[in-house]
Structure 1
Amino acid sequence: MTSSPTPGLTRFNALDDGAATAELHEVCASSAWGGKLLAQRPFATTDALFSANESAMAELTAEDLAEAMSGHAPIGRPKPGDPTSAREQRGMAGASEELKNELLELNLAYQEKFGHVFLICATGATGAFMRDAVKVRIENSPEQERETARGELVKINKIRLTRLVEEGA
């Protein structure tokens, strides 16, 4: 972990609030989450930024979580023209049509039960891993699943924040 600010973190800290808000929105669609991180700038280290992510995510209401999840494409169907979704869902690229169809059906059943997309940190995960995860998680209660999704969002946001402070230099 980083003990001093990276050039990308220094750049992010120096952005005006509007530009920083826009960059945070690309990381997470929750305006409450973005506001909490924005209020803590400047961050001395990337560890401090990651800690702020975890704290802000822990404080989100069910409505805030729904807003955060609304920014995510269903697994196997990245948003057209969205390189972030495509990169994060790369594990689906080699999936068979059978697996893609099975995941589509599971996604629809999950969404019907919980009212939001199946959210998993897909970076580095295979299509089979994600299919197996949705099969397990669809058995959760809404409360259990909300907390599981919250944990997945923490992981996704950390990956995206890392990219922001490393590639944003």
Structure 2
Amino acid sequence: MQLETFNQLASSQARLILQACVHIPTWVSELIQKRPYSSKEQLYQAADEQAATWQWSEISEALAKHPRIGEKKAAAVLSGKEQQFSQREQAQIETDAVLQLALYQGNLDYEYKFGHIFLIRAAGRSGQQILSELQRRLVNTVEQEQTEVRQQLSEIALFRLNQEIQ
């Protein structure tokens, strides 16, 4: 979608576009209220600045709507657009049976330790790179991991926004 079109959408339509990027209502509302944007760069800068204000409670709610890494099918509760994003982002992850099992076990260990799914920007990463990051992050403290999750969720949201608004 062109930026000009996004700027002119009804708020309800713009909300659907932005929610497909990330389920954080304050982020969505702020970006809608700041329209119109004079450039894509201005939109992305506003999106990045708003992401820096996310509270852990908002992030936690957004995580509950994300598919696990390695799940080839996104949850049915996601919108069609979110399912498409998830499938494209994880499509490049090549997994043989050993890697698939290691990701599955790593996800279980991670969820047990931190109480939420492992989140990583999958786009542009191989399955082995994701597994290495998962293993590295398992030694994080809760505070360190919350910082990493915030960064990864922000990267995912901005990546999706960049795909959606041309």
Normalised TM-score (structure 2):
0.90
Match of 1:23 in 2: 17
Task: Write out per-residue CA displacement over residues 116-158 of structure 1, whole angstroms, 9 at most, x where no aligned residue.
Answer: 1111110011000000000001111111111111111221112
SS at structure 2 position matched to 1:87: helix
Q: 1:61 aligns with which of 51, 55, 60?
A: 55
Equivalent position amino acid for 2:153 in 1: L
The CA deviation at 1:80 is 5.6
Task: Write out per-residue CA displacement over residues 57-97 of structure 1, whole angstroms, 9 at most, x where no aligned residue.
Answer: 111111111122223211110316722111101132x3101
Q: 1:10 aligns with which of 4, 13, 16?
A: 4
Rounded to whole Å, the distance in 2 between the matches of 1:163 and 1:23 is 11
Matched, 1:158 2:158: yes
Greater mean alpha carbon deviation, residues 133-142 or residues 111-120: 111-120
Question: Percent same amino acid at aligned positions?
Answer: 30
Equivalent position amino acid for 2:32 in 1: L
Equivalent position amino acid for 2:53 in 1: E
Matched, 1:40 2:41: no
Rounded to whole Å, the distance in 2 between the matches of 1:80 and 1:17 is 26
Runs of 4+ more than 3 Å apart: none
Match of 1:143 in 2: 143
Match of 1:83 in 2: 84
The CA deviation at 1:160 is 0.6
- Alignment root-mean-square deviation, CA: 1.4
Greater mean alpha carbon deviation, residues 76-85 or residues 103-112: 76-85
Task: Say how many residue pairs are matched.
Answer: 159
Task: Write out per-residue CA displacement over residues 102-126 of structure 1, whole angstroms, 9 at most, x where no aligned residue.
Answer: 1011011111211211111100110
Query: What are structure 1's unaligned runs of at least 5 residues?
Result: 1-6
